[in-house]
Amino acid sequence: MMRFFKILFWFFRGVRVYALVGSTGTGKSFRAKLVAQKYGIEMIIDDGLLIRGDQLIAGKSAKKEALYLGAVKTALFHDKAHRDEVAKALQRERFRKILVIGTSEKMVQRICERLQIPQPNKTIKIEDIATKAEIEKAMQSRQVEGKHVIPVPALEIRRNYPSIFYDSVRVFLRRSFGTGASLPKIYEKAVVRPEYTKRGRVAISEAALSQMVVHCVDEYDPAVKVKRLAIRDDTQGYRITVVLEVPFGTKLASNAHALQEFIVDNIERFTGILVAEVNIVIDRLTSRRTSSKNRQRERL
C-alpha cells in the first residue's frame, strides 16, 4: 500500500526517471552532464550520491569505501540510513527529471525501488552516446590508471572527499539557441582514485558462492536437490545457472520465479555482490520426495 502512495506522489509531481546504463568503466559518469543537458534533467544519482547541478545534495560516495564490497553496497543504497537520507532529499527537492546511473538495467531498477522513485521512463545505453573508441579509452583509464569520474566540480570533491581527489577535467560543449549562433558551455568533472582501488578488489570465490546457492535452494525447499551449478562473473554481475532434481509432485515449476528472487535477494543481502541473473533448469523429476536427513547422507 505504501508503495502505491509513493507512485501516486511522484505521478502528481510529474517526475520522469531516466537511466544511463553501461558496463563498469565505460565513461557513464563522464557523460552524465551531457545527457542531463540534452534531456533537461535536473538531478543525477551516481554511485551513492544525489547531485543537482554542481552540488552534492545528499548521500555518500561509493568511491570513499575502503573495500570494493562496501562500494557496491553504497552504490545500491544498501544501508538504511544512507537510503533514507537520499530518499528524504528527493522528496524535499523540486524537480521534474532525474537521471539514475548504473551498470545494468536491473541495478537501476533496484536503486529506484530502494529510493522509492518510479522505474525509468527511458533507458539510455552508453553505446548510444559514445563511440567504441571512446568507450575503450575510458576502460583503459579505469583498468590501467584506476581513475574514476564524479560529475561535479573539483571544488565539491575537495571539500567533501579530499582523500580521493586526483584531478579535474573540463568538457566544452556548444549549445545552439535556434538563432544560428551557439554559446560554449563548460562542464567541470572531478577525477578521483577510490580508496578500494588502493587496497585491491575484493571478490567472492566460486566455491563460496556455490555453497550459498545450494544453501538457498535447501532452505527454500529441502526436497529439491542441486545437481550442477555454473557461475560466470562479468562486468554487470554474477550470472548463475542452477540445474535441479525435483521430486514428482513438487510444484516448483510454478514457483521458479520465486526461487530465483529468493536466491538473488539472499546472496546480494549477505555478500553485497550484484547478481545479474539466475537461471533455473529442472533436469529431471524423481519418484519420491527425499528427506533432508537422506540428502545429507547422499552428500557424504
pLDDT tens, 212-224? 999 999 888 888 8
The reported pLDDT for the residue numbered 257 is 83
Which band of pLDDT confidence, cut at 50, 70 and 90, is reported for residue 156?
Answer: low
Contact (CB, 8 A) for 100 and 45: yes
pLDDT at 8 over 60: yes
The reported pLDDT for the residue numbered 84 is 95
Which band of pLDDT confidence, cut at 50, 70 and 90, is reported for residue 283?
Answer: confident
The reported pLDDT for the residue numbered 123 is 96
The total number of residues shown for the chain amounts to 300
pLDDT higher at 235 or 200 = 235
Residue in the structure block whose three cell numbers are 538504511: 80
**Average pLDDT of span 180-195:** 51
> Can you spell out the DSSP letters for 272-295?
---EEEEEEEEEEEESSPPPHHHH
The reported pLDDT for the residue numbered 4 is 65
Domain 206-299, CATH 1.10.600.10 — does that match? no
295: exposed, middle or buried (C-beta count within 10 Å: 0-12, 13-18, 19+)? middle
8: exposed, middle or buried (C-beta count within 10 Å: 0-12, 13-18, 19+)? exposed
pLDDT at 90 over 80: yes
**Average pLDDT of span 159-167:** 49
Alpha helices of 166-286 — where are they, by DSSP H? 195-199, 206-220, 256-271
Judged by DSSP in three states, 179 sits in coil
The reported pLDDT for the residue numbered 30 is 80
**Average pLDDT of span 109-125:** 94
Angstrom distance (rounded) from CA 165 to CA 155: 10
Domain coordinates in residue numbering, the chain: 2-199, 206-299
Mean model confidence pLDDT for the chain? 76
Angstrom distance (rounded) from CA 122 to CA 160: 31
How many other CB atoms are found less than 10 A from the CB of residue 94? 6
Cα torsion 21, 23, 26, 30 to 10°: value is 40
Angstrom distance (rounded) from CA 60 to CA 85: 10
Which band of pLDDT confidence, cut at 50, 70 and 90, is reported for residue 181?
Answer: very low
pLDDT higher at 22 or 8 = 22
Which band of pLDDT confidence, cut at 50, 70 and 90, is reported for residue 154?
Answer: low
The reported pLDDT for the residue numbered 288 is 52
8-state DSSP, 201:
-
Q: Which one-letter amino acid corresponds to residue 219?
A: E
How many other CB atoms are found less than 10 A from the CB of residue 105? 15
8-state DSSP, 24:
T
Angstrom distance (rounded) from CA 226 to CA 282: 10
> Can you spell out the DSSP letters for 143-155?
HHH--EEESS-HH
Angstrom distance (rounded) from CA 110 to CA 113: 5
